Amino acid sequence: MIIGIFGNSLVLYVYSYRFKRSSSVYFIISLGIFDLLACVIAIPVEIYDIQHKYTFYSPIACTLVRYCGSFVQYSSVYLLVGVAIDRYIKICYPLKMISPKKIKWMCVGATIAGVISSSPTFLLYGIKEEKTPHPDIRGGNCSIAQKYYKTLFEMIYFLLMSATFVACVLLMIILYSLIWCTVKRRRGSVIGDSVRKTSETDSTKRMYYKKQTSVNSDDDNNSVFLPNNHSKSSSRRLRRRMSSVSAVLKKIKVTRTTVLLFAVTLAFILSYFPSVIAMVYLKKKIHKYELLYTFFVKFSFMNNAINPIIYSFLNVNFRTECKELLKRCYCGKIKPPSRQTSMETEEDVK
């Protein structure tokens, strides 16, 4: 929780004030807001719920925390679908890139969709009576409300939630697979064209040298002359061609930003997948697998704290800006930002 609050606060400050506005920056800021919301509201109440398993009697607090967790989950997965779509269009169709204004609306749309998708939690969750180690005493737990426990409404809600998660994950897998195929195909195309042109040029020059050798051999049987200037010129041309191929190959690759956002997407999937499994399969045998169920459900909150760590490892500019900010804070001198760093550190696929 502390790591999440501190890390996401850094993310929001650095990306809001130290980076130039771009599609990736808008997405990361939106994710940072959702993650910070979960770390400030949802996680503390979840910790309280675990520590006071039988003495949670506030239905309002229970409903709010469950709604917050559900809202963050839905909004994040919708936002990551938007990230995948943006990366796909930017790399596979570079002439049809999404404008920053449309990216803003995508973020707003993901938020609204999260609000709507999470609305059933206001009805579904509440205080549920729990058996305590003392048979004569009943406790209260923040869970499915007593009147909806093991009903059709509960089953439909969790099935729809799981179906939404799986559908979004499949869409993201398809889009990133298409990105990978596009990059691989274009790299192969450039290498093939360059090698073919180099081979044709080299073959033509060999034929020329062969003719020169034959003529000189007829005129003078004791000497065969091949001009060194031609050989040196050929080598220089070959080196220039190979360097130009290398330059093109550097352009035809996924940017660090795309790798960064893919890592964030992968972390989200890995952290929320156990939660979905627990809610669909383990919930039916919750008394038998109570500890495992609780661990899987709460494991999803790891995602809200891990994103700043991913940014630190994969974005050199973010890491540098954080160091500078912490140095200024430690020295007691917080200066207004004098420059902004570009998020895109490398060119996209073209």
Could you read off the pLDDT tens digit of each residue along the chain, which spans 350 residues?
788 898 899 899 999 888 888 888 999 999 999 999 989 988 888 888 777 777 777 888 888 888 998 999 899 999 999 999 999 998 888 888 888 889 999 999 999 999 999 999 988 888 877 777 777 777 777 888 888 888 888 889 888 888 999 999 999 999 999 998 988 887 766 545 544 554 555 554 444 444 444 444 444 444 444 445 555 555 565 565 555 545 444 444 457 888 888 899 999 888 888 877 777 666 666 666 677 777 777 888 888 888 888 988 888 888 888 888 888 877 765 555 545 565 554 444 43
State how far the Cα of 176 lies from the Cα of 231, in Å rounded to an integer.
46
Look at residue 126 and tell me if it is in a domain.
yes
Look at residue 347 and tell me if it is in a domain.
no
Look at residue 175 and tell me if it is in a domain.
yes
State how far the Cα of 19 lies from the Cα of 137, in Å rounded to an integer.
57
Query: Domain containing 259: what range?
Result: 2-185+252-331
How many domains in the chain?
1
Amino acid type, 16: S
Look at residue 191 and tell me if it is in a domain.
no
Strand partners, 126: 143
CA distances, 122 to each of 58, 153, 279 (Å): 14, 13, 18
pTM for the complete prediction? 0.75
The predicted structure's pLDDT at residue 117:
93
The predicted structure's pLDDT at residue 209:
45
The predicted structure's pLDDT at residue 178:
92
Strand partners, 143: 126
The predicted structure's pLDDT at residue 220:
43
Look at residue 63 and tell me if it is in a domain.
yes
Look at residue 226 and tell me if it is in a domain.
no
Look at residue 207 and tell me if it is in a domain.
no
Read off the CATH number of the domain in which 152 is found: 1.20.1070.10
